[in-house]
Amino acid sequence: MAAGGKKEKTYEQLLSELESIVAKMEEGALPLAEMLEQYRQGVALIQQCRAQLEMAEENLNDD
């Protein structure tokens, strides 16, 4: 579980959120400040996805 008692999101959930952010940004209707915030959230989601993929790869290599 993640810090604060929140259940960690699955890779699929993270990817879905990232796709939603990309779609909003591609529309081009967001103000600059919101675009930057969405970008930051996207970067954080990518980092979480990478971490989960690395853990999955380690699990495969351990077996």
DSSP H or E stretch at residue 42 = helix 32-62
Q: Any idea what the Cα angle at residue 34 is, between residues 16 and 14, rounded to 5°?
A: 15
pTM over 0.85: no
pLDDT tens for residues 5-22? 578 899 999 999 999 999
Structure token digits, residue 10? 């699955």
User: What is the amino acid identity at position 15?
Assistant: L
Gyration radius of the chain over CA positions: 14
pLDDT tens for residues 41-62? 999 999 999 999 999 999 999 8
- Confidence (pLDDT) at 63: 67
How far is residue 61's CA from residue 59's CA, in Å, rounded to a whole number?
5
